[in-house]
Amino acid sequence: MKRPKEIHFSEAHWKSLLYFSAYRFFLAGLLFVVSLVNPASFQPFSINQVRAITGGYFLAMAIALISARVFRRHFNWQVSLQVLADIAVFITLIHFNGELFGSLGVMLLVTLAGAGLVGQGRLVLFYAAMATLSVLLEQTYRGLVTGFVLGDFFQTGLFCIGFFGVAVTAHLLARRVITNEALARQRGIDLHNQMLVSQRVIEEMQDGILVLKRDGMIWQHNPRACELLGLGDPTGRLLADYSSELSRSFVNWCAMPSDAYVLVRAPASGMRLQARFLATDSLGQDVLVFLEDMERVQTQARQIKLAALGRLTGSIAHEIRNPLSAIQHASELLAETQNDPVSERLLRIVIENTQRVERIVSDVLAVGRRDRLHRELIDLRQMLPLFVEEYSIKENVAMDTVRQEVSGLGMLCFDRSHFHQVLWNLAGNALRHSHQEACSILLRVKDGVRKGTVEFHVIDDGPGVEESLREQIFEPFFTTHSRGTGLGLYIARELCEANGAQLDLVPSETGADFCIVGRNDECQ
């Protein structure tokens, strides 16, 4: 036969038994000390009887306390033996003392109440029944010896009913407490799991989140907020320490709450952020601040535009190029046979515009192939002189028009063909807007601010970019040149992003400064 599986009891059950055993241990010790110091308190006991009973009781309770503390097995057996020992001792003391309704009877009620709190199920009724039978037998024996008194039996019956009432009430109360404790523990586990999930979601969000006090103190944030603000842990610091613009917007929002977005710039990171404030129902009236990287929003918009453009050009590029080639070829043949200056000028216009359309189609298809890359570490000290020589020859400009400055590691992780195209576009843009004199274009390479990055600057000595146009120059088909396609800077930025780099127009004292920030340590 298989042995019945032992019921598992929780830590709360064993802790309750431990407290119950400790109470009985101290009670037994107190009775034993009183029997030694003042045995007259147990009249009409003999001194030997008192000390034998209380001493044995104290020893038994010491063993019970150690068992409840060390041997955490057979929970019901331990409870039952302790309760039965209490009943035996107190009934013995009551028998010799002859007084059921005194302090010893009350102590028996306390023991049954404790057994009701600690015991399990029907065992509680068993304890009350054993106490009742013991009391009734003691009273019956006393009646046989000294004579039956009806009033004593009536009071004994009421006392026995009290045994059951106290034991059952205590047990129901204990069950309610245990149920509530289990429910609270389960809810605590659920709440903890929910908090972990919520924390993970907040940490992985692409938007930065700040929780502000009404005085502008930051007391919670997610990791993305640290990246957008460009500083370390902002907890416990004022919002004004990170962005005066954002702090002023928060003060204005507190005066007049609204759901409108505000555009700010984080001084430390240099990022343009879109912020939104949202009130909460917390007691402290905390405010949530959602920070969104505007560059990421613009990148997503560009990608959507690129996807739409790619689908369009991919489907009609073949249909455009074939008739375009035919037009260009026919125009060139006509140009060879025409001697009329007017016809030659018109044919030249046709040829130039067909070439422009051909460049547009080629540029758009090049953007569609931006993901076909092979990144490698490019030594800019070796690559730039070769590029300047090639560029000067093909664009028919003096060699000293482009100047080079290389410092630091001078390495860039990039697809070589992509970088050649990006640099050619940036150099062409710089040449177009420069004075086209000696050192009009500067190619400057230096280590980046962040470890493992390199900065590549293409600077010209022209008039620079107007402030109103700085946000539009990277848009596709935006151009200020009559013969430009409006795709050069757009393609350059797209290819940089495909290679894990970033292309931006940065402030400059003279002319325009286009800066590529990429990696210089390793290619992944």
Least confident piece of the model among 56-60, 234-238, 330-334, 395-399: 234-238
Reading the block at residue 75, the tokens are 């929970």
Higher pLDDT: 253 or 142? It is 253
Given a cut of 50, whether residue 158 has pLDDT beyond it is yes
pLDDT tier at 485, thresholds 50, 70, 90? low
- What is residue 515's predicted lDDT score, i.e. its pLDDT? 92
Residue type, 228: L
Query: Of 110, 92, 86, which is closest to residue 162 (Cα–Cα)?
Result: 110
pLDDT (tens digit, 9 = 90+) per residue, 342-380? 777 777 777 777 776 776 666 666 655 555 678 888 899
Residue 383 CA to residue 347 CA, distance in Å, equals 40
CATH class of the domain defined by 297-368: mainly alpha
User: Which single residue is written with the structure tokens 């953007």?
Assistant: 367
Give residue 149's pLDDT band: very low, low, confident or very high (50, 70, 90): low
Where does CATH 1.10.287 sit in the chain?
Answer: 297-368
> What is the pLDDT averaged over residues 301-330?
67
User: According to the per-residue pLDDT averaged within each range, which of 35-49, 208-222, 245-259, 451-465 is highest?
Assistant: 451-465
Q: What is the pLDDT of residue 467?
A: 77
Residue 314 confidence (pLDDT): 62
Distance from C-alpha of 360 to C-alpha of 366, rounded to nearest angstrom: 10
In the block, which residue shows the tokens 């002023």?
A: 248
Whether pLDDT at 457 is above 60: yes
φ, ψ at 447 (rounded to 5°): -65, 145
Average pLDDT, the chain: 76
Strand partners, 277: 289
Q: Which of 319-323, 455-459, 465-469 has the lowest mean pLDDT?
A: 319-323
Which tokens in the block code for residue 348? 């030249």
The encoded tokens of residue 62 equal: 């010491």
What CA–CA distance (Å, rounded) separates 312 from 317?
8
Give the CA count within 13 Å in the CB-facing half-sphere of 174.
Answer: 20
Span(s) in the chain for CATH 3.30.450.20: 205-293
Closest alpha carbon to 300 in 291, 308, 288: 308
* 70-72-78-79 Cα dihedral, nearest 10 degrees: 110
Pairing of strands 502-506, 453-460: unpaired
CA 299 → CA 190, 290, 303, 304, 465, distances in Å? Answer: 39, 19, 6, 9, 21
Q: What pLDDT digit, counting tens, does each position of 233-280 carry? A: 666 677 777 777 888 888 888 888 887 888 777 776 667 788 888 888
Domain with CATH 3.30.565.10 in the chain: 375-519
CATH-assigned architecture of domain 375-519: 2-Layer Sandwich (3.30)
- Interval 492-513: pLDDT, tens: 888 888 888 888 888 887 788 8
129 φ, ψ (degrees, to nearest 5): -65, -40
Q: Of how many residues is the chain composed?
A: 524
For range 137-161, the mean pLDDT: 70
Q: Is the pLDDT of residue 427 over 50?
A: yes
34: tokens are 């009183």
Q: Provide the token pair at 325.
A: 């080639």
Return the CATH class of domain 205-293.
alpha beta
**DSSP 8-state symbol, 240:** G
In the prediction, which pLDDT does 456 show? 92
**Backbone dihedral angles phi then psi of residue 6, each to the nearest 5 degrees:** -70, 135
Calculate the alpha carbon distances from 435 to 205, 438, 479 in Å. 47, 9, 19
Which has more confidence, 237 or 443?
443
Which class for 179: exposed (0-12), middle (13-18), buried (19 or more C-beta within 10 A)? exposed
